[in-house]
Structure 1
Amino acid sequence: MCTDDSRHGPGRRALLVTGAATALTLGTMSFASAAEGSQSTQTLTGTLPPGAPDFVYLPVEVPPGTREIRVAYTYTKATVPAGTQNNALDIGLFDERGTELGGEGFRGWSGGARTEFFVRADDATPGYVPGPVRAGTWHIALGPYTVAPDGLPYSVTVTLTHGEQGRTPRPAYPPERARGRGRAWYRGDCHLHSWHSDGRRTPAEIGALARAAGLDFINTSDHNTHTSHAHWADVAGDDLLVMLGEEITTRNGHVVALGTDPGTFVDWRYRARDNRFGHYADRIRRAGGLVVPAHPHATCIGCGWKFGLAEADVLEVWNGPYTPDDEVSLADWDNTLVAYARRGSARWLPAMGNSDAHRDPDRVGGPQTVVLADDLTRTAIQEGLRAGRSYVAESKDVSLTFTATGGKGESAGIGERLRVPADTPVTVTLEAKGAPGCTLHLVTDQGTLYTSAPLPASGEGSATWHTTPSYAAYVRAELRHPATTPPLPGPLAAFTNPLFLGT
């Protein structure tokens, strides 16, 4: 075993332009070939300064005859003044094919969820891609998420095991169809994290919780990695459709790739100012997925959505337990409906809700999106979401029926348009179940125009409201719990996508 603690990053680094962003490259770790079964270890230490690039790359020269690469790292938390961000350092790995943005070299990412990982042909740490350890220049990717004023001290240790490589397993993916009920309402949660990123649950545990929550479908969305895709085949079944995706976690917002082709990886190493998001949104769609900006007004660093909504297919308005940032997201989304209804835009942006569950006590299916789809298939669910034929409920216990009818029997449901003249009398009907003590609300382009009395202990109730398209360009429904801080509205129990009125 050989150890080298003498190289210190700041004195040996060089600037390297990679695609849209400037990255930092540290001094290279070089390993020589060694006897089969032996190990070689080197350690690099250094300190990253405030204002460090988003990604810092440590080249590792991997010799022929390497069986496994294992990486461990540590970094130091600082003593910082109140209100100042402390150190946080993410980590990942690229192989000899390079670190090019959108290239083929990606071999895994664990963010800050793990302090060590390994990769070899026959196995890898969750979040990392098993496969041959080929000779060449590999790169450990460090992501200084936040850096304290005095800098971010780090230490990276690389251990190579020499010997014959194992056989890479052939991935098995879940089917794109489950046993549905024909055209029906299906419940799903499309933002979930397993132990392949920063979650603490296995795919099997998530599947069991999804079934207990009454879900018909889920979508995998681990941060910046697709490695869980090959671990869901045994979780899916006739009663549960498992779609595959990723949460692309950039420094300017997160986006869920919903229902992509198996094995699809989407890069995340760009900001809004780099003008690259359109390319990667197209990458999601070319892989058969939907582009879903997640928790757009979340207050965590890097979580707020700054890429605009032109590329979005659906917007995640409600994320996990209902909080004030969800209320802001709901209001902001409502403003996009006004623009569509009044300007005659060619498309509108449907909303959805997901749990973003990571670990106990996070509740899978809280909330869940209920979609009217032609069948329980990947394509049919995506079509229902894209069309806005859906509502969001806090649990399987809550259900809604929401329709509008015209004077001659014309009717429309959630996500549809009732095409009648501007002065036509329209009757809007809302029925709710499973929401005791909640109030029913009807919201239009003018705001909330109807509020019911609290529902009885049975949780069932209905509302009927009369309007015209000239008075209300659209109507959507909300179920709300009692207010906790009046006069602010109470937390949502459910909400629908809109019904549009008029020709």
Structure 2
Amino acid sequence: MERRDVLKLSAVAGAAGALTLGSVTFASAEERAGSGEETKKVTGHLPTGSPDFVYLPVEVPRGVREIAVSYTYDKPAVPAGTVGNACDIGIFDERGTDLGGRGFRGWSGGARTEFAISAERATPAYIAGPVNSGTWRVVLAPYTVAPQGLNYEVTVTLRYGAAGETPEPVYPPHRAKGRGRAWYRGDCHLHTVYSDGKRTPAQVAAEARAAGLDFITTTEHNTQSGHGAWQGLWGDDLLILTGEEVTTRNGHVLALGIEPGTFIDWRYRARDNAFGRYSRKIRQAGGLVVPAHPHATCVGCNWKFGLNDADAVEVWNGPFTPDDEVTIAEWDNTLVASLRGRGRWLPAMGNSDAHSPGQVVGLPQTVVLADDLSREAVQEGIRAGRSWIAESSAVNLAFGVNGGRGQHAGIGGRLAVDAEETVTVRLEVSGAPGCSVRLITDQGQLYAAQLPAEGTGTVEWRTTPAYAAYVRAEVRRAPADGGASGMPGALVALTNPVFLGKE
């Protein structure tokens, strides 16, 4: 086919801008004598400022067994400090590209240069099923475009023949045996080969068990295709929840514990005022809304949608870095705001976001007090803030506040005593050699102590609700620069707060 540029500007209702190219047409199965294959190529150029999504319509005739797509784009040299070309890819079937519609058939982002879909099977990140006749649409997403623009080539191959049977997906159960009401450890931000990860689901499950985890959540970028890839990997000792990392151009959000097979759309920006709709869809599908790595430095990773629709926030993502420090400070500010009647408080959680070997599953992990090891109980514990974050399963702590008449409140709770009543904050830690503890309140840090060298110890601090409206605990290493910068050391553990005083 001849080289073509963008032919028609269109809009996806309520979404970031989109462009539609001219259609690619193929012979019918009858013309092809019902077998064989046919390939066509489309080339084009996208300038800087192109819309987020470019749709290439493909007219699929009857009698197609499989559709296969590959693509390439140029990566010219750019000056230092200037973004180069990066272009993602996915596909929608004949049911259309409406936001949140049923036409979605897969998304590999920039992780793959080719994919194929048939009734029997699909490339990881894509959804197996019949290749019905009608207008399919390959979607290109120019994530960043160099000053020279982006030249692309898309190759579409149709393979003719009788369609096979689509296997029924087998999804993980919502419950594992567990230990009754207990503290359960989990990692709720993980990637496999079903998006841009390098591990198989079997490898992730094995590493989760090795890390001492009780539950994990699979969160592939912008696709639900991995939900059915865990057969035989769950067990009495490991609960596997299904989710999605909804990867928009204005930040990423984890849809944790959604019903298997649920697709959450990502084709909108903060300016489109669409996120409220999709946060509701996450909850309707039984999930939690958790903005991920809100201050990460990658393009499009900063969270721009605000926190009003969130159920929790990921304050620690992978090995501890300065952007996590910024996120924790911002999260602590939301705790203070909640005391002024500006909405409910937002629990913190931590996850590994592990993609590849060398990125440790369970670094960090969220430790949740749940009534049992089930989707409902774990999510209820996260939503209530009955949780803390650990660097690994080697770290243990117990944290709570006691009143003078036997009252007690644990992590995520409230000790409802008079403003001037003296209360005792108690923190027990083990598995944190060479670390110190800090107690943080609405005024900031009001107490700190060094743990014994072996990393096991107990600290107590007395205060009143009038002096500290809440208190939370941090366990940290010594600063890498010896404290010269005034910055604290890396986190080893962090708790959600205990609130003090009557509401």
TM-score interval, normalised by the smaller of the two chains: over 0.9
SS at match of 2:278: helix
One of 342, 351, 354 as aligned partner of 1:354: 351
**Distance across 1 between alignment mates of 2:450 and 2:194:** 46
Letter in 2 for 1:63: P
CA deviation vs aligned residue, 1:5-48 (integer Å, no higher than 9, x gap): x13234xx100111123211112110011233311000011111
**Distance across 2 between alignment mates of 1:340 and 1:29:** 55
Gap regions ≥5 residues in structure 2: none
Query: Aligned-residue CA RMSD in angstroms?
Result: 0.8
Letter in 1 for 2:475: L
Contact 1:9–1:27 at 8 Å: present in 2 too? no
Partner residue, 2:20: 25
Partner residue, 1:328: 326
* Alignment pair present for 1:473 and 2:469: yes
Q: Identity over the aligned pairs, expressed in percent?
A: 64
One of 8, 11, 15 as aligned partner of 1:14: 8
Partner residue, 2:64: 66
Give how far 1:454 is off.
Answer: 4.1
SS at match of 1:18: coil
SS at match of 1:309: coil
One of 377, 380, 398 as aligned partner of 1:380: 377
**Distance across 1 between alignment mates of 2:3 and 2:336:** 59
Contact 1:177–1:378 at 8 Å: present in 2 too? yes
Letter in 1 for 2:499: F
Q: How does 1:228-377 map to 2 (within 5 A)?
A: 228-341=226-339, 343-345=340-342, 347-377=344-374
Q: How does 1:433-444 map to 2 (within 5 A)?
A: 433-444=430-441
SS at match of 1:242: strand
Gap regions ≥5 residues in structure 1: none
**Distance across 2 between alignment mates of 1:409 and 1:177:** 35
Partner residue, 1:38: 36
Give how far 1:450 is off.
Answer: 1.1
CA deviation vs aligned residue, 1:95-132 (integer Å, no higher than 9, x gap): 00111111110000000000000000000000000000
**Distance across 1 between alignment mates of 2:119 and 2:160:** 13
Partner residue, 2:500: 501
Contact 1:175–1:233 at 8 Å: present in 2 too? no
Contact 1:7–1:27 at 8 Å: present in 2 too? no
SS at match of 1:273: helix
**Distance across 2 between alignment mates of 1:451 and 1:303:** 33
Contact 1:192–1:357 at 8 Å: present in 2 too? yes
**Distance across 2 between alignment mates of 1:35 and 1:366:** 56
Letter in 1 for 2:19: L
Letter in 2 for 1:103: G
Q: TM-score w.r.t. structure 1 length?
A: 0.97
**Distance across 1 between alignment mates of 2:140 and 2:206:** 35
Partner residue, 2:409: 412
**Distance across 2 between alignment mates of 1:55 and 1:35:** 36
SS at match of 2:427: strand
Give how far 1:235 is off.
Answer: 1.1
Q: TM-score w.r.t. structure 2 length?
A: 0.97
One of 104, 114, 126 as aligned partner of 1:106: 104
One of 127, 135, 138 as aligned partner of 1:137: 135
Partner residue, 2:170: 172
Letter in 1 for 2:471: V
**Distance across 1 between alignment mates of 2:103 and 2:75:** 31
CA deviation vs aligned residue, 1:333-353 (integer Å, no higher than 9, x gap): 000111112x14552100000
Partner residue, 2:214: 216
One of 462, 465, 480 as aligned partner of 1:484: 480
**Distance across 1 between alignment mates of 2:332 and 2:240:** 30
Contact 1:293–1:312 at 8 Å: present in 2 too? yes
**Distance across 2 between alignment mates of 1:324 and 1:131:** 44
**Distance across 1 between alignment mates of 2:385 and 2:307:** 16
**Distance across 2 between alignment mates of 1:454 and 1:484:** 17
CA deviation vs aligned residue, 1:71-99 (integer Å, no higher than 9, x gap): 00001101111100000000000000111
**Distance across 1 between alignment mates of 2:33 and 2:458:** 76
**Distance across 2 between alignment mates of 1:433 and 1:37:** 67
**Distance across 2 between alignment mates of 1:178 and 1:420:** 38
**Distance across 1 between alignment mates of 2:47 and 2:452:** 57
Letter in 1 for 2:10: L
One of 54, 59, 68 as aligned partner of 2:52: 54
**Distance across 2 between alignment mates of 1:335 and 1:26:** 47
Letter in 2 for 1:377: S
CA deviation vs aligned residue, 1:153-175 (integer Å, no higher than 9, x gap): 11000011000001000011111
Letter in 2 for 1:351: A
Letter in 2 for 1:498: P
**Distance across 2 between alignment mates of 1:234 and 1:114:** 26
**Distance across 2 between alignment mates of 1:455 and 1:444:** 24
SS at match of 1:480: strand
Q: How does 1:393-472 map to 2 (within 5 A)?
A: 393-457=390-454, 459-472=455-468
**Distance across 2 between alignment mates of 1:444 and 1:128:** 47
**Distance across 1 between alignment mates of 2:322 and 2:160:** 53
Letter in 2 for 1:151: G
